[in-house]
Structure 1
Amino acid sequence: MDSTDPTPKAFLQTPWRLTLWGCAAALWLLPALAMRLTDQVNWAPGDFAVFGAMLAGLVGGIEFLSALRLGLRSKIIAAAGVVAVFALVWVELAVGIFD
């Protein structure tokens, strides 16, 4: 196989992708740690599922944008849009800003 083969092994050998998904996994587990340390955090399994889906969409969107043949400036602007959508959905689910 050549070095451009997009196999899972090649995927894991790209340091920034592994770091990006690793950080998302760490963020996903952070509320579980907080629940063990304090009573102020009380997440149900559905909360973890929704947050995991949101993180997967965020990281998947950023990864998709990085694969496009765009200039660096366009990629940064598009990634900022993906992050903004993630933040708006997160805030809406947390406190309901659009009511």
Structure 2
Amino acid sequence: MKMKSLIIILGVVGAILLIPFIAMQFTSEVDWSLFDFILMGILLTGTGLLIELVIRKIKTNPQRLMVLGVILLGFFLIWVELAVGIFGSPFAGS
């Protein structure tokens, strides 16, 4: 992986994490702890690195799209479970 790609991924993750941080300054409805920011940073960085790996290693578009779809589906399922505990797993603290 090129250093430029890593810097872009980390920059995007930082920009995304700024959204709830800024929202916390203006409303009490957004209430993230340090643990929330760390966990979401790990989740976003891991997803970004996996996407970068797939884009570099898989050359055919149908396979690439299928694997990227699975990665994004996994990301969204984990995100929803952590946010609202939709599946009621111990993973979300339910």
- The answer to whether the aligner puts 1:80 opposite 2:47 as a matched pair is no
Is 1:36 the counterpart of 2:51? The answer is no
- For 1:97, which of 60, 82, 86 is the aligned residue? 86
Residue 74 (structure 1) shift: 1.3
* Aligned alpha-carbon RMSD (Å): 1.8
TM-score normalised by length of structure 1:
0.77
Per the normalisation by structure 2, the TM-score is: 0.81
Structure number, greater radius of gyration: 1
- Counterpart amino acid of 1:11? M
Match of 2:59 in 1: 70
State the identity %.
Answer: 31
Change (3 A) 1:87 1:72: same
Write the letter of the residue equivalent to 2:76: A
Structure (1 or 2) with the greater helix fraction? 2
Unaligned residue ranges in structure 2 (runs of 5+): 89-94
Segments of 5+ residues of structure 1 without an aligned counterpart are: 1-5
Matched residue pairs, number?
88
